[in-house]
Amino acid sequence: MTEKLAVTGADGLARCPWGLEPEEYRVYHDEEWGRPVRGDDALFERISLEAFQSGLSWLTILRRRPGFRAAFAGFEIAAVAKYTEEDAARLLTDPGIIRNRLKIEATLRNARTIADWAPGELTELIWSFAPDATARPTPRSTAEVPATTSESTALARELKRRGIRFVGPTTAYALMQACGLVNDHLADCHARGALAG
């Protein structure tokens, strides 16, 4: 991996290099990535979007996020769990999302699986894999940010054991980064300080 340090934007703020541009990345980086996400529906959305992102750029997902939310009932687990074969067929023709049959089927199956869990169980499960923040070194460059960790591997294994599909160790780690289980903003990034305070 090429080592990249935080980059200062035209607004004078230092950011992780991927969060500088385009605008969608900057807003996502500054306002969402790495901030704690709790709530089963919110985490179901992140799991689903991370699965759809596999093999694609995150920018593609961000630009289609409104379409995903419309297509999947705002990622309300109870609603998506009731989707029928007709709904699945409709989703395959929806230009507002990524029309991948396996990913669509996995999202519907995941909703049905999670709908059978107790309220809050998904949130509790995911957050139980958050590592001790004080034991993690602060990354100074992108080369110091891992793609997987022992925690993401264990989280992926447990989610799979419970019937959740399309969540491997790399996807699980991206989920942990996005949802604030780990803070992988670089040491000189302004967002890292905002999350610490």
Catalytic-residue membership of 28: yes
29 is in an annotated binding site: yes
Catalytic-residue membership of 158: no
Catalytic-residue membership of 85: no
- Catalytic residue among 33, 50, 151, 173, which? 50
- Catalytic residue among 18, 58, 117, 127, which? 58
The residue among 20, 10, 125, 24 whose CA lies nearest residue 66 is 24
190 is in an annotated binding site: no
179 is in an annotated binding site: no
Annotated binding residues for Zn(2+)? 16, 29, 185, 189
Annotated binding residues? 16, 29, 185, 189
Question: Which sequence positions are flagged as catalytic?
Answer: 28, 50, 58
